[in-house]
Amino acid sequence: MDYSKAKQLAEIIVKIRLRSATFEERAVLADWLGESEDNRQLYKRIVRGESISKRLRKEDQINESVDFVLVRNSIARRLVRKRQTRRLLRWGSGSVAAACLAGAVLFMLNNKPDEGTRVTPVEENVIVAAKPEMNTRAMLILADGAQIDLVNDIPGVVEQEQAIIRGESGKLSYEVKRDSLLTDEVVEETFNRVITYVGGDYFLSLSDGTRVWLNADSELEFPVSFVGNERVVKLRGEAYFEVKQDARKPFIVEVNGLRTRVLGTSFNVKAYHDERSVFTTLVKGSVAVEVADGGNVPASRIVLEPGMQAMWHEGSKAISVQPVNAANIVAWKDGRFIFTEEDMEVVLRTLSRWYGVNFICKDSRMEKYTFNGLINKDEKLETVLENLTLTGGPLFNVVGKNVYITKK
């Protein structure tokens, strides 16, 4: 790494410690962290070192001060220094030590509260409230309202007017009936829904060949067979799409007032009801993200390139774009949650959807934590929380479906 790149990263690391880094700066660091495990381990050593913990004591000592320059240069030198010893530990799942590392998350503690921040009473400070657990983790709702449990009552074959549905463990596929393609009659679209609940995710193959991975606490409404000039589906929650190419029929994902339009590509849409924004992340191909205004011309439109993420606040006409590590964003479909300098509230919402618990914070400054690391989805909740505490985070006390958080 050249020294100018090291200085850029060093400055971003200091800004993140002070919670003044922009989305673009965080994305630069995220890309560097995603390049290798060596980078992630070096980053851990830097943020735990004296250059951060001793020199940066007060925010008003930074900005234009000599301390800022000294710290930045000190970090930059560590980034370009050639390491003489081999790394002995890797993230993975082969051994107990490796599993702990894979489940552990690096905490950056930001203890200085913002001036003028109102302290929320403890009894009202519920960071995340999960949905109640269901008796199943995934459900198919047919057009006539019939419900099929996709976990405890897996359907073998279900025939509908326009398609045949085939079910396997954790998987659902739609096949268009050949007779429905030969008819000259005008056919109306009929819709099915797949809903996932706490701790559930599901895979389905749509009638056009598009593959969809649905994350926990999500819902996808889709036509049994696509009719007309567009393939439109509606999403609540999070899903990863691998769209079957068809230039004659663009594929469109609708989320409230946002539309993501594609021909053939791989992308992720995150649109939970308790999130402040809708995030569209492009992995491969090209997509256009549009804010609908009720007419033929969208209020706002941007075209994403691979590795870019669109962010839209509901009700806004503007769409912002930032570079991200797309592989980390979509890791959930492969059984992992990967966080890159993520705010505590976002992490806890993710854990709540998967483990079905409420997180209740007893410290008004707890939202000042940020997280960086990986958690396997098959880890027990108690193991995850223990690892978070051991790596510098707060204390967690599990009482039934509530998890109480206190500062160490």
For residue 117, give every residue at least 6 positions away whose Cβ sits within 8 Å of its Cβ, in sequence order, or none.
Answer: 364
pLDDT of residue 11: 82
The domain locations on the chain are: 3-88, 122-130+335-406, 138-329
Q: Where are the alpha helices (DSSP H) in 82-132?
A: 96-103
Q: How far apart are CA 349 and CA 385, in angstroms?
A: 14
**274: how many CB neighbours lie within 10 A of its CB?**
13
- Answer yes or no: pTM beyond 0.85: no
Q: Tens of pLDDT along 299-347?
A: 788 999 999 999 998 878 889 999 999 999 999 999 999 988 788 788 8
Q: What is the pLDDT of residue 93?
A: 30
CATH topology of domain 122-130+335-406: Phage tail protein beta-alpha-beta fold (3.55.50)
287 — alpha (psi -120 to 50), left (phi > 0) or beta? beta
pLDDT tens across 68-123, in order? 666 677 777 777 754 433 332 233 333 333 333 333 333 332 333 344 434 344 44
Per-residue confidence (pLDDT) for residue 257, from 0 to 100:
83
Same fold, 122-130+335-406 and 138-329: no
**Contact between residue 321 and residue 310 where contact means Cβ atoms under 8 Å apart:** yes
- The gap between the terminal CA atoms of the chain, to the nearest Å, is 37
Instruction: Please report, in tens digits, the pLDDT of each residue of the chain (408 residues total).
Output: 777 788 888 788 777 766 566 766 777 777 787 777 777 777 776 766 544 544 454 443 444 443 566 667 777 777 775 443 333 223 333 333 333 333 333 333 233 334 443 434 444 467 666 666 778 899 999 999 999 999 998 888 998 888 899 999 889 999 988 765 544 454 688 999 999 999 999 999 999 999 999 999 999 999 999 988 999 999 999 999 999 988 889 999 999 889 999 988 999 999 998 887 899 999 999 999 998 776 566 778 899 999 999 999 887 888 999 999 999 999 999 999 998 878 878 888 999 999 999 998 866 655 566 778 889 999 999 999 988 777 677 889 999 989 998 887
Q: What is the DSSP letter of 130?
A: P
Q: 138-329 — its CATH code?
A: 2.60.120.1440
Kindly give, in sequence order, each residue whose CB lies less than 8 Å from that of residue 210, ignoring residues fewer than 6 positions away: 231, 241, 242, 243, 244, 251
Encode 309-347: b = buried (16+ Cβ within 10 Å), e = exposed.
Answer: bbbbeeeeeebebbbbbbebbbbbbeebbbbbbbebbeb
